[in-house]
Structure formats: C-alpha cells, structure tokens
C-alpha cells in the first residue's frame, strides 16, 4: 500500500522528466519540483547536448559555473559525445 502511494506521487514527476523541453521550462521556475535538482547551467548542458554542434556545445560550456567540480572531465566527455555524432 505504501509503495502504491509513493508511485502515485512520483510517477507524474518521472513522466515530466522524460521531456527535455518541459524539464528546462520547469527548471527555470523556482516553485517547481525540478528546480532544485541541478544548477540551471548543468541542466541546460545535459538536456541540450544531443541537439547542438561543436560551436553550440562550446557556448553551453562557457555558461557552466567555472567552480563546478570535475568541469574539465565534464567538458571532455561532452566534446567526445558531440564529436561522435558528427
């Protein structure tokens, strides 16, 4: 019974998280459940990485907070991912 109640509560959020544009829109709204999940700069990078070319990726990377832990590794991973699609 407790599991059913928990699923009824979490399924709508999980369904919304599958739509990248919805997540980006909700992330900008401080009242949403999605807002506190990740900083907006990282969220934007992760959600848009498959839609940008190398130049677009660099623009996304410049928006990421320079104090982000493992930023160089994250940037390298993102560049490899975008290059693999080219």
Distance CA(69)–CA(41), nearest Å, equals 13
Instruction: Give the pTM.
Output: 0.67
Burial 57-85 (b: 16+ CB within 10 A, else e): beebeeebeeeeeeeeebbeebeeebeee
Among 25-29, 62-66, 74-78, where is mean pLDDT lowest? Answer: 25-29
Mean pLDDT computed over 54-66 = 95
Mean pLDDT computed over 29-55 = 86
Distance CA(19)–CA(26), nearest Å, equals 11
Mean pLDDT computed over 41-58 = 92
8 vs 70, more confident: 70
Distance CA(47)–CA(20), nearest Å, equals 6
The band of 39, judged by pLDDT with boundaries at 50, 70 and 90, is: confident
Distance CA(9)–CA(6), nearest Å, equals 5
Mean pLDDT computed over 33-62 = 88
Q: What pLDDT does residue 7 have?
A: 67
């Amino acid at each position: 019974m407790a599991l059913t109640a928990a699923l009824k509560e979490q399924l709508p959020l999980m369904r919304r998280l599958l739509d990248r544009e919805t997540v980006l829109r909700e992330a900008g709204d401080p009242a949403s459940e999605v807002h506190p999940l990740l900083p907006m700069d990282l969220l934007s990078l992760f959600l848009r990485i498959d839609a940008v070319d190398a130049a677009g990726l660099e623009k996304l990377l410049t928006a990421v907070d320079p104090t982000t832990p493992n930023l160089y590794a994250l940037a390298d991973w993102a560049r490899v991912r975008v290059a693999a699609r080219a």
